[in-house]
Amino acid sequence: MEIERKFVPESLPADLSGYPALHLTQGYLCTDPVVRVRRENDAFCLTYKGSGMMAREEYNLPLTGEAFRHLLPKCDGRVIEKTRYLIPVEGRPDLTAELDVFSGELEGLVILEVEFASVEDAVSFTPPAWYGKDVTDDPSYHNSAISRGADPRKR
């Protein structure tokens, strides 16, 4: 079960290139349940996330590069490309902010996510000012919605 809060920063940290980064390319074969293919630097995987009606289980299963390239064109809507920076959360060594900077068609879109161990912790968390607007409850910021063609900035 993922418990996370999602934000839209208006500006990026100045020292972005100093943080660990992952280059992600992903598409969705299905969104309910989620069946996603993803390239993460030089690793490839198929992810399944149980739908709302079922237990929200998540499995990450390895793919070869060839299998990834075979499955990607079968995905619906747009392929998402982004760089994910892993940024420590000040004063909370147990948390890491994932800052997704999109490229390609969605160049300029930036979404920040923090995952929590409990709902209580998520609710009581006070975000730094630079995290910007809280869009946790806005479904248009889900990656699966973005892949279906929605650009959440244009609503």
Residues forming the active site = 28
Give 73 or 91: the residue with its C-beta nearer to its own copies: 73
Q: With beta carbons less than 8 A apart as the criterion, state whether 62 and 80 touch.
A: no
Q: Any contact of residue 72 with its own copies (CB under 8 A)? A: no
CA distances from 16 to 12, 21, 46, 86, 87 (A): 7, 9, 28, 9, 9
Q: How many residues make contact with its own copies (CB under 8 A)?
A: 22
Q: Any contact of residue 35 with its own copies (CB under 8 A)? A: yes
For 72, phi then psi, to 5°, come to -55, -45
Q: Any contact of residue 133 with its own copies (CB under 8 A)? A: no
- Give the shortest CB-125-to-its own copies separation in angstroms: 32
Query: In the complex, which residues of this chain contact its own copies (CB under 8 A)?
Result: 29-30, 32-33, 35, 46, 48, 50-51, 53-54, 57, 59, 61-64, 66-67, 70-71, 74
